Structure 1
Amino acid sequence: MKREYCQRCLYPKNSCLCKVIKPMSVVTEVVVLQHPSEVKHAKNTVRLLALALPQIRIVVGESPADFVDLRRYLEEQTKPVYVVYPNEHSQTVAEAGASEAAIIILVDGTWRKAYRMLQLNPWLGDYPSLHLEVEDESQYIIRKAKRSDSLSTLEAAAHTLVALNPNVDVTPIFAVFNAMVQHKLTAMPALVRGRYNVDNIKG
């Protein structure tokens, strides 16, 4: 039998997330450069982020040609632009003196693919880089990561928004995220589910 999908959240109807979706808006402009391989990934957190933050701008691509329109748009803006990606030159939001009236760019892909995207697009180096100071571990326990400090793109966006403005309530973002994680865990056989540290998931 063909699986039916919700027309709003695009998840299977038996795992529809609509009941927890509460769209929010923020002053900060969020732009995501998404690697093509992530678009149809079952655990695509950018799709979840867009449900909670409809104003997000998602540009799918890998090479400079894919981002021509975005580059033109950014060059026309007067707001500061930051790339959220840790490197030897990146700073915290406080160190950079960044405010919420900014544009933040996140790169969505595995560490290897994200790094390759940055290498293929040296124009991103024209903008200052930000890294996050987050004490809590990622709640994205259902996806393996080589680094212990790995955050999903959704988590990175939410934490950056809070760093830029501590008064921003990002509960709607984590609500859809946690709903997806819990559904995936519930659907797993008990033996498989036992491999994940479910006690670390925040409600």
Structure 2
Amino acid sequence: MPHAVSQLRSARLARSSKPFLARGGFKRERCEGCRLAVSHCMCALRPAVATKPGFCLLMADIEALKPSNTGWLIADMVADTFAFGWARTETDPALLTLLKDPQWQGFIVFPGEFVAPERVVRSLQLPAAAEGAAAKRPLFILLDGTWSEARKMFRKSPYLDHLPVLSLELAQISQYKLRRSRRDDHFCTSEVASLCLSLAGEELAAQTLEAYLDVFTHHYLQAKNQSPIAWDSAAHQRLSELTGQAGKSTIPAAKVDSFQAFTP
């Protein structure tokens, strides 16, 4: 069954009056499962890691249509990933229902420097469960879009105003290579999700998502440059080790011929 971001993409495409053309992207046929060129498909590498936290992606209008969007990778790996299109004038009722679900404690992930201090938390502070009730699970709410879009979503979403804002300590520099940002401390959605998982004590999931992003980046750029995939790359090996596939071939047999077509 298609995951939440895939379903949102399909719904957005259904509303489009003309085909979406990714800026600077390649024009070859794309795989519906990973959005990459069919020749560089990575669906067989999709990891699945059980996690206590879930993710809620609030996505700017065309974000789900962009082949470079990394929220897709989160939904690939984390089963409890929800995705909603954001609009200033209307809100999906399913989103409001999710935010009221008693099993979840929502955290908006956003820089604390732009938020009233009393709302900011820097660690997961989950309320104590009532006697006989299950403990709440963290639900990380990620504003998926450009920085200006994310700021607009934060300011103009009153249904989020009651939630704590999780401000991450970003010591490293973003390694994301598929889109440009003027600042090194602007992270892609998948990188932010990895940091959230690590903060929640889900280190295996955090590292796996990190490695999965590296593999996705490699496949995307190799397809864009019409170059073959380096299946023995450090990124592939790390993902293989983290998913317990060490020693096994990561290249699907059915794909061998199409990959060989790109051999210089």
Q: Which moved more, 1:36-45 or 1:15-24?
A: 15-24
Matched, 1:12 2:37: yes
Higher RCO, 1 or 2 (CA under 8 Å, sep at least 6)?
Answer: 1
In structure 1, what is the equivalent of residue 56 of structure 2?
A: 31
Task: Name the amino acid aligned to 1:82.
Answer: F
Deviations 1:92-112 (A, max 9, x none): 11xx53498221211100010
Q: Which is higher, the Rg of structure 1 or of structure 2?
A: 2
CA separation of 1:156 and 1:64: change in aligned 2, threshold 3 A: farther
Return the offset for 1:54.
3.2
Find the counterpart in structure 2 of residue 195 from structure 1: none
Asked if structure 2 preserves the Cα contact closer than 8 Å seen for 1:63 and 1:121, the reply is yes
RMSD of the alignment, in Å? 2.4
Q: How far has the Cα of 1:188 moved from its partner?
A: 5.8
1: distance between equivalents of 2:66 and 2:55?
Answer: 21
The answer to whether structure 1 residue 97 and structure 2 residue 125 are counterparts is yes
Residue 138 in 1 paired to residue 168 in 2? no
Residue aligning to 1:114: 150
CA contact (8 A) 1:64 1:121 kept: no
**Any idea what SS the aligned residue of 2:121 has?**
coil
Q: 1:103 to 1:23 in 2, by over 3 A?
A: same
Picking from 66, 82, 88, the partner of 1:57 is: 82
Unpaired runs of at least 5, structure 1:
190-202
The Cα shift of 1:68 comes to: 2.8
CA distance in 1 between partners of 2:202 and 2:82 (Å): 22
Instruction: Provide the C-alpha distance between the structure 2 equivalents of 1:78 and 1:169, rounded to a whole number of angstroms.
Output: 21
- Equivalent pairs: percent with the same residue? 24
Q: Deviations over 1:106-150 (max 9, x none)?
A: 110001011111222122121000011132211103311132211
Amino acid at match of 2:207: T
- Between stretches 135-144 and 67-76, larger displacement belongs to 67-76
Query: Does the CA contact (< 8 Å) of 2:108 and 2:164 recur in 1?
Result: yes
Asked if the contact 2:144/2:150 (under 8 Å) is kept, the reply is yes
Letter aligned with residue 88 of structure 2: S
Residue-pair matches, total? 187
Aligned equivalent of 1:74: 99
Matches within 5 A, 1:102-181: 102-181=138-217
Q: CA 1:73/1:106 → structure 2, altered by over 3 Å: closer, same or farther?
A: same
Alpha-carbon offset, residue 167 of structure 1: 4.0
Using structure 2 for the length normalisation, give the TM-score.
Answer: 0.63
The TM-score, its normalising length taken from structure 1, stands at: 0.80
Superposed CA offset, 1:18-67 (max 9, x none): 23211112111211111112111121101122112232111112225233
Question: Aligned equivalents of 1:12 and 1:186: distance in 2?
Answer: 10
Which stretch of the first structure deviates more once superposed, 100-109 or 156-165? Answer: 100-109
Kept after mapping to 2: 8 A contact 1:21/1:172: no
Larger displacement relative to structure 2 (16-25 or 152-161): 16-25
For structure 2, which runs of at least 5 residues remain unmatched after alignment?
Answer: 1-26, 128-135, 226-237, 239-264
Counterpart of 1:42?
Answer: 67
Give, in whole Å, the separation in 2 of the partners of 1:6 and 1:78: 35
Partner residue in 1 for 2:24: none
Q: What SS is found at the alignment partner of 1:48?
A: helix
